[in-house]
Structure 1
Amino acid sequence: MAKVTDRLNIHLADWNLLYTKLHHYHWYVTGPNFLALHAKFEELYDYAGTSLDEVAERILAIGGKPISTMKQYLDQTMLTEGGKEKSPEEMLEQTIKDFQTVVGSMRETAKLADEAGDGVTTDMLNGHMAELQKQVWMLTAIAKGLPVKA
């Protein structure tokens, strides 16, 4: 089970970074699509906040210890910090890429959890993957009218 909790800590780090990054986008988005993107980024950081708590509680429930410091999050995340994305297009593009990266990583963790007989963790990850895939579809649809490489 240690391999599963180690992988879940990576997801915890990713969710924490996404929470901060999406907050940044929410605060700094500008332009003609401001209202829609401002609201969308808020929806997404709320989801990230709920998800990070769910992952941390799952780690505890299966006997692990969730990481809990910014240093640990930055050391373990598979993502990069935000802040260099200046345009709404760059913010959308990076969010799509981040979600795709997280889905790929979760797929690997779900396999490990399944092999360990931990169907509850697999179910949780499948739910997160389904939601992120839906969000990638929605963000790509938003980006269609913008010069975004989606």
Structure 2
Amino acid sequence: MKYEKTKEVLNQLVADLSQMSMVIHQTHWYMRGAGFLTLHPLMDTFMDDVNDQLDEVSERLITLDGAPYSTLKEMAENTKIKDEKGSYDRSMEERLATLVANYRYLVEVFEKGIEVAGEEEDNVTEDMFIDFKGATEKRIWMIQAHLGKAPELGK
């Protein structure tokens, strides 16, 4: 079958981007403290970006004759992004650090996608993964800068 490894990575991203959307929602809903007025609406932008990526990944998977996960059970069983109960006890810095860790994981999945799509000569999907990797690295840089830290990409 054609593009099998690429389709596997695409479906992994369906689960992971779905879970990342929920993690961002949780950050949005449970934030309190300094920076709230700026960070709360910023989470809407983060959610929109992740949901746009999810839609593009799912549609690409369908284009390649794949079948994206489409139930909460499938998402939960296949994501590698940690699930944790919402709490008001976490600081904004902790919440943002969680987002950075999850974005770093997504960069790894995009890198794997670049590799396998290249091997399978699917340049369209490879380009999509490259674009998403760059956008996600920029997101990491921006959050890290807010936290007073260097991006620390490629470590």
CA contact 1:29–1:88 (8 Å) conserved in 2: yes
1:35-78 per-residue CA deviation (whole Å, 9 max, x = no partner) reads: 11112211101111111111000000011111111111111112
Aligned counterpart, 1:35: 37
**Any runs of at least 4 consecutive aligned residues in structure 1 with deviations exceeding 3 A, and if so which?**
82-85
1:57-108 per-residue CA deviation (whole Å, 9 max, x = no partner) reads: 0000011111111111111112112435622111100000000111012101
- SS state at 1:11 partner: helix
After TM superposition, list the pairs within 5 Å mapping 1:14-93 onto structure 2.
14-84=16-86, 86-93=90-97
Aligned counterpart, 1:2: 4
CA contact 2:30–2:86 (8 Å) conserved in 1: no
- SS state at 1:79 partner: coil
Task: Answer yes or no: is 1:133 the counterpart of 2:137.
Answer: yes
CA contact 1:15–1:52 (8 Å) conserved in 2: yes
Aligned counterpart, 2:105: 101
Identity of aligned residues (%): 30
1:3 and 1:57 map into 2 onto residues whose CA distance is 16
2:142 and 2:62 map into 1 onto residues whose CA distance is 33
Aligned counterpart, 2:153: none
1:87 and 1:113 map into 2 onto residues whose CA distance is 39
Letter in 2 for 1:47: D
- SS state at 1:16 partner: helix
Between the two proteins, the alignment pairs up a number of residues equal to: 145
Aligned-residue Cα RMSD (Å) equals: 1.3
- SS state at 1:134 partner: helix
TM-score by length of 1: 0.92
TM-score by length of 2: 0.89
CA contact 2:114–2:126 (8 Å) conserved in 1: yes
Segments of structure 2 that go 5 or more residues without pairing to the other structure are 150-155
1:44 and 1:82 map into 2 onto residues whose CA distance is 19
CA contact 1:24–1:82 (8 Å) conserved in 2: no
